[in-house]
Amino acid sequence: MTRRHSLLLAIAAGLLSLLGLLALTANGGEPARADEPRAPLSDSAAPPTATVKLVFVHHSCGDNWLSTGNGGLGDALGANNYFVSDTYYGWGPGGIGDNTDIGHWWLWFRGPHSPTYTQALYETTNQHATYTRPMSDPGGENQIIMFKSCFPNSHLGGNPDDPPTTGDNPLRGQSSSSAYHTVANAKGIYNDLLVYFAAHRDKL
């Protein structure tokens, strides 16, 4: 086994372990209440016993990561009882799939058309990358939502210790080429997303 293959397998194993841990926190698909006792969590890479639907929002790097003969993540997930779908350029209402930079995530999850975009994302069974689905569609919505921005988003202005922007954030809806693509604004965007995630704990 080459060093590259070993690294890819380690990445896939780590992701599967994370997905297994997250699945344990889903509370049976119902949002957890603050007054409910929670069972201890265990970090396990064991596949779910029932097929779990997962969708991955990405562009070229994510496509390579998923594809058979390249990253192989789609096949690894399928072999571990995840029904995988993915989105790419041109996907979705208004072509929202074109937009995957950090500032764009605000449009997906917090913007005025967020309910339209997220519902389409929950329902999609689109397959763009090349990978094997070893099982039939189990029905229902996607339970796990993965998303990543491509490598140009690493070119952030500012400094690592800059505090997050609060209030109106000029990076909202902007691309990575924007002058507002800074560490502070990116932190602010992700803090904005936490509001959505906190209200939708039935999705991971």
pLDDT of residue 11: 45
Alpha-carbon gap, residue 12 to 15, rounded angstroms: 5
pLDDT of residue 88: 97
Mean residue pLDDT of the chain comes to: 85
Average pLDDT over residues 48-53: 95
Q: Is the pLDDT of residue 40 over 70?
A: no
Q: 18 versus 42: which is more confidently predicted?
A: 42
Question: pLDDT tens across 131-186, in order?
Answer: 999 999 999 999 999 999 999 999 999 999 999 999 999 999 999 999 999 999 99
Alpha-carbon gap, residue 176 to 18, rounded angstroms: 28
Band (pLDDT 50/70/90 cuts) for residue 67 is: very high
Question: pLDDT tens across 89-122, in order?
Answer: 999 999 999 999 999 999 999 999 999 999 999 9
Are the C-beta atoms of residues 91 and 28 closer than 8 Å to each other?
no
107, HSE (Cβ side, Cα atoms, 13 Å)? 19
**pLDDT over 70 for what percent of the chain?**
79
Q: What are phi and psi for residue 11, nearest 5 degrees?
A: -65, -45
Find the distance separating the first CA and the last CA of the chain, reported in whole Å. 33
Q: 28 versus 73: which is more confidently predicted?
A: 73
